[in-house]
Structure 1
Amino acid sequence: MGSSYTATCYAVEQAKGIDARTRRSLIKVKPKAIKQSLVSPYKRGTWYGDVWLVTDRDDGMLLEGGRSDLMVLQVEEHPSSGYLWRFGDLTEAGLTVTADDRASRAGKEHIGGVVMRRVMAEPGAGEGARGRVQFRETRPWQPEAEPLSSLELDIDLSGPVRTGLLPAQRETLLSVA
């Protein structure tokens, strides 16, 4: 949006979206700390890029960001029933998986049942990532069967545009030529 975290907090207060007390408590939390909590226990070399938390509620979303951003996919998985998430489209869109783990829901230790799957991916070295990705929770031995769950995203992690036309403008002009 082109404004800092602090400036956004003040703007939301001015628009009557939050009160002064809420604004003060929000400003105490630093953006870097939020990013670190989303990817913990993993460490990044730099925290300039954004961290995008993607869940099943984001189905159909357009994710626009920068080349230094990190995407964290967090979805429920049903491995005790044989259902596993497939994330192969990430590499086709230019993303590299940097972490992939599972944890019991709500921190409860038990065998079987639903787990939270968390996959972290970031664009390849300075190139960015673009494309439509589809994730499916299927049984590996029934890849063509109807998935238990699915999630589709349009990803454009190629920003910011350095100079010249925006990618959509460039594509439109090239298609006419």
Structure 2
Amino acid sequence: MMTNFRDAILSGTKAAAKLHREFHHADAVKALGGGVDVFGATINLGAVLIFRPLEGLLGACIPGQNPGVMISTQRALRIQRFTGAHELGHVVMRHELKIDGEEILARAPSQGGYDLQEIEADAFAAEFLMPKWVFQAHARRQGWNKESMEDPCVVYQMALRIGASYDATCRALNRHSIIDGSTREKLLRVERKRIKKSLLGDVAVENWHRDVWLLTERDEGTVIEGQPEDCFVLRLRERSSAGYVWNFKSLQEAGFAILRDTRDIPSPETAIGGVVSRLLTLRRDEPDLGELSVEQRRPWLKTGAPLSKFQLKYDLLGKEIGMPRAVRRQLTAA
């Protein structure tokens, strides 16, 4: 039985780690990238999950033999994910009826001073969505190290890939002792608009709420989950001096608008093998689920294997509404 907030934090953290092992979440992230599948885990535990407009609330958990979880549709996907993880904590630890509002976003479990079941659910959510191994998996894939986490642009890209907010990612990196408290505060002071502008350069956008993904060959074969209006900067190595170029026609056919297409040509002193960086900025404004696939080949050779390919799957449907997409996929497969 919990007697203090330290016991509650330990209990919630252990419960999250146990669920990761049961559902092999680490294997899934290592294989496909992305974040921990919080909604899939909720459904696999037998809970009824639904998304509805909740005025003034983020979520609720109704206990029982078949517990129910309700999450608001009035917030972005990353907030839905954190709310879902918090409510999942209530389910896993068999808490009483819980109705949660904005307060779950502002508090930290280590502060204590509130209901022990809420502290337990907060600790569960933090560890479930942002365990240390999820940062390590993405760092290995991207070639990032501990020093990289001092760069706000890198931390922002990490946050996008794990499906968490920038602020929550900074705090989790500090919680796992990947960065110190001073670095955390320095990162939190960086304006998100400044990070996005540095990625987009001279590309103008109507608003700065949209996210900006930087995608490279290291993202090959992964799945990214974002919002319908997100922007993407593809940075791919190109052997244009040997006649090989990337063909982006398939992206336009898939509904992506190309906002900028440039090449970053190194100086003769630093050029290696005639390789340049092809930089493509694109976006699509409609929700979509599909695969991004482009090839690098000599334009005059229409057949044969390309020099290289870049592929990844994307889910740009945005926030969940009504029946969870995980349930719809199960029904489609049945």
Amino acid at match of 1:165: M
Residues 105-146 of structure 1 show CA distances to partners (whole Å, capped at 9, x for unaligned) of 3xx37999322111111113xx22321122111001113222
For residue 145 of structure 1, what is the aligned residue in structure 2?
304
Amino acid at match of 2:308: S
1:174 Cα deviation from its structure 2 partner: 4.5
What are the equivalent positions in structure 2 for 1:6-155 lying under 5 Å apart? Answer: 6-105=167-266, 108=267, 113-124=274-285, 127-155=286-314
SS of equivalent to 1:145: coil
Larger deviation, residues 67-76 vs 85-94: 85-94
1:77 Cα deviation from its structure 2 partner: 1.1
CA distance in 2, matches of 1:129, 1:75: 23
1:44 Cα deviation from its structure 2 partner: 1.0
TM-score by length of 2: 0.47
CA distance in 1, matches of 2:221, 2:165: 27
CA contact (8 A) 1:138 1:145 kept: no
Number of aligned residue pairs: give it. Answer: 171
SS of equivalent to 2:328: helix
TM-score by length of 1: 0.85
Amino acid at match of 1:20: G
What is the aligned-residue identity percentage?
Answer: 37
- Aligned-residue Cα RMSD (Å) equals 2.3
Which structure is higher in helix share? Answer: 2
**With CA pairs under 8 Å and 6+ residues apart, which has the higher RCO, 1 or 2?**
1
**Runs of 5+ consecutive residues of structure 1 not aligned to the other structure:** none
Larger deviation, residues 166-175 vs 81-90: 166-175
Larger deviation, residues 61-70 vs 137-146: 137-146
For residue 59 of structure 2, what is the aligned residue in structure 1?
none
CA distance in 2, matches of 1:22, 1:76: 32
CA contact (8 A) 1:86 1:137 kept: yes
CA distance in 1, matches of 2:165, 2:297: 41
CA distance in 1, matches of 2:254, 2:327: 20
CA contact (8 A) 2:257 2:283 kept: yes
